[in-house]
Amino acid sequence: MTNWPVGISTGCFYRKNILECLESIRSGGFSLIEVSSAPEHLDFHNHTIVREVAARVEYLGLEVFSFHAPLSNQIDISSSNPSCREFSLGEILHAVDAAAILGVHYFVIHPGPEDSIIPPTTERLKRLENVIETLGLVARRCAERGIGCVLENKLPHLLFGNVRDILWILDSLDNPQVGVCLDTGHASLSGGLHQIVHALAPQIWMVHAHDNNGHADDHYPPGDGRIDWNSLLKELMHIHFHGTLMLELAGCSDAVITMAGALRGRSFLRRIARRLALERFTS
């Protein structure tokens, strides 16, 4: 299968209120979106606002495919401080409830904090246990709301950014309602994108698609960086991936430029997908 739907994350407009960017996304010809939970973008604690967004999405003929869990220095589901973990879990569960109002398919969450400090082994293992315990509660809430929970592979320098940690977490959760969101940029910066695809293959349910130049998490449109998209999409076809490619781009203050990059990235992916489909048909 190579006719994967291509959507876009509203995170490319995270500095703006989400209601100010939906028209631009729809005008660009996108119908599937992932909603960013950035505070200035969407107050997911306020269900009145979330319902207003849901109504606007329906009016525009859009579909909220996924919702990204909140990220901040205060949110750490691995913390050794019970109060911090309790606060972090509360914020994430608020976000799950908002995602349910929007009618999403998947709730995307980083399996650990945005922390580059790697603690000693004993502490690291204890914090990994905290992650597993908390994610179990998140997955339960997602299931109660009829939402799939997907763990995103993180940047390799971050705590629990190693694919082995994701596999350990998935194995410990042992929950068929928990899958993986493959982040192409993060995986490529690890130096082993195809190895990560192979390792996570059975549980890759969606893809965050963005590019980089091999040194930083640039979030370029696909085709603007150094990722070998032909090989990657061929690998996704090989593992029978049937999910959605969600563009997760950096964006800029000019919505026209942002959407031009999104359209360029979508066209690039579709050209490769069509070529792969033709090659498969004629082989």
For the chain, which domains are there? 6-282 (3.20.20.150)
Q: Decide: 51 and 75 in contact? Cβ < 8 Å.
A: no
Query: Residue type at 19?
Result: L
Give the residue ranges of the chain where pLDDT is below 50: none
Q: What is the pLDDT of residue 246?
A: 98
Cα separation, 78 vs 89, whole angstroms: 10
Q: What is the pLDDT of residue 221?
A: 98
pTM (two decimals):
0.96
Which residues lie across from 9 on neighbouring strands? 34
Beta strand 106-109 with 32-35 is: unpaired
Classify the phi-psi angles of 103: left when phi > 0, otherwise alpha if psi is within -120 to 50, otherwise beta: left
Cα separation, 57 vs 45, whole angstroms: 18
Q: How many CB atoms lie within 10 A of CB 190?
A: 18
Residues 59-106 pLDDT 10s: 999 999 999 999 998 999 999 999 999 999 999 999 999 999 999 999
